[in-house]
Structure 1
Amino acid sequence: MPRQSKVELYAAIPRDARAGVTGRALQAKYGVGWRTVQAATESVWPATRKQYPKRASKLDPFKSFIDEVLQDDLRAPRKQRHTVKRLYARLIDEHGMDEISYQTVRDYVAERKPQIKTEVGRGPAEVFIRQTHRPGEEAEVDFGDVTIRLRGELVVVCLFALRMSFSGKAVHRCFLSAGQEAFFEGHAHAFSVLGGVPTINVRYDNLRAAVSRVLGFARLREESDRWTAFRSHYDLEAFYCQPGIGGAHEKGGVEGQIGWFRRNHFVPIPEVESIDELNEMIDAWDLSDEQRRIGARPRTIGELFAVEKPLLKPLPEETFETGRWFTPRVDKFSQITVRTNRYSVPVRLIGRQVRVLLHANHLIVFDGRTEVARHERLPAKAGTRLDLDHYLEGLLRKPGALPGATALEQARSAGKFTPVHDSWWSAARRAHGERDGTRALIEVLLLHRHLPHEHVVAGLAAALQAGALTADAVALEARKIGESSPAETPVVDLDGPGTVSSLTQRRLASLPPDRRPLPSVTAYDQLLRRTSTTKGSSA
């Protein structure tokens, strides 16, 4: 029979007893003892469980001394108050405490310390006051860490989140850095998605990207100059929370939102080829999350956001440059150093000063006003990112440096230097020697600046198949492929020895053989004989 509560049992036993069921039968039917049967027939309510006195603790004789010390500490200088370790030592030395662990004393102090502060009026019990937010007025911002698999490698990236307090609508963005440029780009993206700016304020903790210094115990902050300019551009008001755990409670909405977003969308760990691909996935997740309800709310996030979106302040007409400018000098390795990381630039710029626009996920290098390089930003410190194309002019003069070049290894890892390149290079070195064969490969790599990558790779495969091991032959094949129709574009097996297949060749191979006779050239042979006879007679 199903399990019954004690009240139901005390109602069933008297009912069966009045029907004439014996005591032993009641015990067997309900699986209880005779005392329970007797108690149930005497009262409809079960007797309350007897409260036994709390078991004595070995710490009881010392609790009064501990309480006295904690009370005295409230009047002592802040840096000269008892730690649990010091209190434990005094209990042993001055009061002969024995066979009591440090953990027992620490647990009692952790329990009594806030109670004593409340008893003497020095600290009220912590209470959380529920807040009501009006549409379009407030938002909260914070950063969190998430782990992704970027091109097969585990990388920790920064997750920016801006959450509207009324609707719960949140906009997220992942960055390879949590610097000021990521802070600004996250805001710009969020305001663009929301279509406006909160009318009252946005809540922040004391992020270094915005706050240079906390002034005293009030909510006064010394802001960075660029953050002040950014706020002025968007007409944005900032509300700074208290430092520490107390400040986290003041923007608990976004704190919980980051945890929820991480658990629901980053488990299992996403695998992406670029940070831009990840952000496209995040945009889709943000859109789908509008269909969910928060807690017991009767409406979805999307329905509530539709109410507050018209109430937001309009966006400014002009955009704000979120990146930061740097002017490094190119070293002898044709590299620049930006935020402890090194990036390559063309070798012709060695010794010159260039301008770098640093964004959260990438950086752009300018020579004057001309863009000369673009790199994905490195997430760690003291890293190096090299582009093989930047070193080709230098390698033409030093071809022996190519086999061990770091830029070549990075190109292989990125898939830009394919197995077809390696096969053609090996064949060229066997045919022309190490130096000339490597120079021929470098001339082929220069073709990538003017021709699509897939056309050059297909041209390499076609030239390798034909035994044409010169850069001119590869260029000719690549241009022929580019001029052909899309249906005739060759398909290259990048893992094979360099074979090319064509849809046109496949169609011709499938046609039946042509059995028509070949055209005759007999008439032309007679003309040749007549010409020879005429020449002989004249002689």
Structure 2
Amino acid sequence: MPGKPINDQQARLYMDYRRTLSQEAAAAKAGFSLSTGQRLDQDPRLPSQKKAGHRRGRTKPDPLGGVWETDVLPLLGRCAGIRPITVLEELARRHPDQDWDRRRRTLERRIEAWKALHGPDQEVMFRQLHPPGQQALSDFTEVTELAVTIAGQPLDHRLYHFTLAFSGWEHAEVVLGGESFVALTHGLQNALWALGGVPAEHRTDSLSAAFRNLDKNAREDLTARYEALCAHYGMTPTRNNTGVAHENGSVESRHGHLKSRLDQALTLRGGRDFATLDAYCRFVAEVVGRHNARQRKLFDLESPSLKRLPARRTTDFEEATVYVTSSGGFTLRKVFYTVPSRLIGHRLKLHIHDDRLDCFLGGTAVLTLPRGRAPQGGKGKHGHVIDYHHVIHSLRRKPQALLNLVYRDELFPRAAYRRAREAMSAALDPRLACRIMVGLLWLAHERACEADLAASLDATLEAGQLPDLAALQRRFQPHQTDAPAITVTLPLATAYDTLLATTANAGASR
């Protein structure tokens, strides 16, 4: 092997083979290189007979000779953390007449050896013991690499990830928004109630994402809310130091394992597209459930050490009050939401969750809306969460309002309706196109045929034709059915007298 001295036995074997074989063949049979055989031919002494401590000198010139002492070492001593490629580029700048690319590996090995002997001290990781029931950890993790789509559209999301440090029991759920306190509260409580118990301590990553862009007062309020959440469950809240991810290592290291399991499960599934968001959420829960089944023995050891859950959950949402304007909706955090027009002029109380808004009129729940987010990177731009069922009654009376409607593209419930509008706008008078499009939306609303009508529109557009509103209205009109003719024959009143007499005689005979 290169760099390993030969022994006396190898030397003797070489000398024996050398009597009949060439240098190259004898060296190969003895188990060393040709150059070693050449040295033995020049000096036939056994390795044990040579002077103790004698080292063979360099046979080739040092590739870094002339620059290691004068150029490289001063750079390493003066610039802590400098990379070998940076040193190589500096050498090429100072000595442009030499070919430094061929010396890169030599330089990297030499610098690595120098750092091991003379470099700065490195941070030491101290492995910790995790008693059963002592610590749980929470964090969010990006899953862009999974490339999940919902009905063909990319899903911009991340996962909330909870784990027990001792047993490795896990909980994960899809988060559509950012790393908010609401998402943490919702995910943590779901995890604890699925777990069926409470650990003594809960560790997070300083809520750094939730603190982003908040002023001092808002951060203090968020800290107080987090401590109140942990107090409700009897957990001690702890945090790792900001920017020191390894202090949350028990969950950080498991992020990779979780994403790997999801990726492999998606590969076995044969596709990364899901019909609905709920279907994808169930898929994540199934993958995590299979992992927890494998951790059952460790969890059974840890379960007795968990504390009991409280009698109820605590608040896992934010609250806001909004006013429903004459536009048929309200604006919350740069997102406009439509609501039924009968709520115009009323104030609604909102429970803001990560994925939805629960709307209350007084103490009465009136509807639930999907949570929207404002567009990223667009200053002043607003998002829209539009349900055409809420506005179609008014739009039917004023169809030309569709032409320049602010949220026109978000009004259409499916891509087929959007394609139909674009095709008609290009081929017809704009006013006529608006009337037909509003008529199609009204038909979908009135006849509850949104999906079937979308399929019909797709087929029509694929055939190169424009939608025929009258024909579609006839196709989706209610089926007329005639009521069957039923003849009811009423018995004569005297028949009841006969029946009563017969019954009385039968009773007397008994």
What is the TM-score when the length of structure 2 is the normalising length?
A: 0.64
Counting aligned pairs with the same residue, the percent is 21
The corresponding residue for 1:530 is none
Query: Which of residues 110, 133, 137 in structure 1 aligns to 2:134?
Result: 137
1:440–1:470 Cα contact (<8 Å) kept: no
Q: What is residue 192 of structure 2 aligned with on the other side?
A: 191
Between stretches 47-56 and 389-398, larger displacement belongs to: 47-56
State the 1:403 CA deviation.
6.4
Partner secondary structure for residue 328 of structure 1: strand
Q: Helix, strand or coil: the match of 2:157?
A: strand
**By how many angstroms is 1:278 displaced?**
2.5
Matched, 1:258 2:255: yes
Q: What per-residue deviation string (whole Å, max 9, x for no partner) do you get for residues 81-121 of structure 1? A: xx99xxxxxxxxxxxxx9499xxxxx9x9999999997xxx
Contact persistence 2:162–2:172 (CA under 8 A)? yes
Identify if the C-alpha distance between structure 1 residues 348 and 158 changes in structure 2 by more than 3 Å, giving closer, same or farther. Answer: same
2:328 and 2:357 map into 1 onto residues whose CA distance is 16
Change (3 A) 1:192 1:452: farther
Question: By how many angstroms is 1:383 displaced?
Answer: 1.5
Letter of the structure 2 residue corresponding to residue 285 of structure 1: V
Tell me the alpha carbon deviations over residues 106-141 of structure 1, each in whole angstroms, 9 at most, x when there is no partner: x9x9999999997xxxxx752221211111211221
Distance 1:457 1:224, change over 3 A: same
CA–CA distance in structure 1, aligned partners of residues 223 and 172 of structure 2: 24
Change (3 A) 1:411 1:65: closer
- The worse-fitting range, judged by mean Cα deviation, of 40-49 and 264-273 is 40-49
Structure 1: gaps spanning 5 or more residues:
72-82, 85-97, 102-106, 119-123, 216-220, 292-299, 484-539
RMSD: 5.3
Q: State the distance in 2 between where 1:412 and 1:223 align.
A: 38
> Which AA in structure 1 matches 2:347?
Q
The 8 Å contact of residues 384 and 410 in structure 2, kept in 1 or not, is answered as: no
Secondary structure of residue in 2 paired with 1:129: coil
Query: CA, structure 1 residues 208+13, in 2 after alignment: closer, same or farther (shift >3 Å)?
Result: closer
Partner of 1:43: 47
Change (3 A) 1:35 1:325: same
Paired residues, number = 417
Partner of 2:410: 410
Q: Pick from 344, 357, 360 the counterpart of residue 354 of structure 2.
A: 360
What secondary structure, in the 3-state scheme, does the structure 2 residue paired with 1:143 have? strand
Match of 1:233 in 2: 232
Matched, 1:207 2:208: yes
Which residue in the other structure is 1:176 paired with? 176
Separation in structure 2 between the aligned mates of residue 314 and residue 110 of structure 1, nearest angstrom: 53
Whether 1:384 and 2:384 are equivalent positions in the alignment is yes
Structure 1 stretch displaced more, 355-364 or 36-45: 36-45
Structure 2: runs of 5 or more not aligned: 29-33, 83-92, 97-107, 376-381, 460-467, 484-510
CA distance in 2, matches of 1:371, 1:165: 40
- CA deviation after TM superposition for structure 1 residue 185, in Å: 1.0
Matched, 1:283 2:285: yes
**Per-residue displacement from partner, 1:379-403 (whole Å, max 9, x unpaired)?**
4443112110010221232133346
Provide closer, same or farther for how the CA distance between residues 27 and 41 of structure 1 changes in structure 2, counting only shifts above 3 A.
farther
| TM-score (normalizing by structure 1) | 0.61
Say yes or no: does 1:309 pair with 2:303. yes
* Contact kept in structure 2, 1:160 and 1:183, CA below 8 Å: yes
Q: Deviations over 1:258-296 (max 9, x none)?
A: 2333344248794334443322111111123347xxxxx
Q: Which stretch shifts more, 203-212 or 183-192?
A: 203-212
Q: Does 1:242 align with 2:244?
A: no
Offset at 1:434? 8.3
Task: Provide the rounded CA distance (Å) in 1 between the counterparts of 2:354 and 2:416.
Answer: 24
Instruction: Tell me if structure 1 keeps the 8 A contact 2:320–2:351.
Output: yes
**What is the Cα deviation at residue 415 of structure 1?**
5.9
Q: What is the CA–CA distance in structure 1 between the aligned matches of 2:470 and 2:397, rounded to whole Å? A: 28
Aligned counterparts, 1:450-529, within 5 A: 469=473, 474-476=477-479
**1:149 shift after superposition:** 2.9
Q: State the match for 1:397 in structure 2.
A: 397
Shift of 1:236: 1.6
CA distance change for structure 1 residues 476 and 277 in 2, over 3 Å: closer, same or farther? same
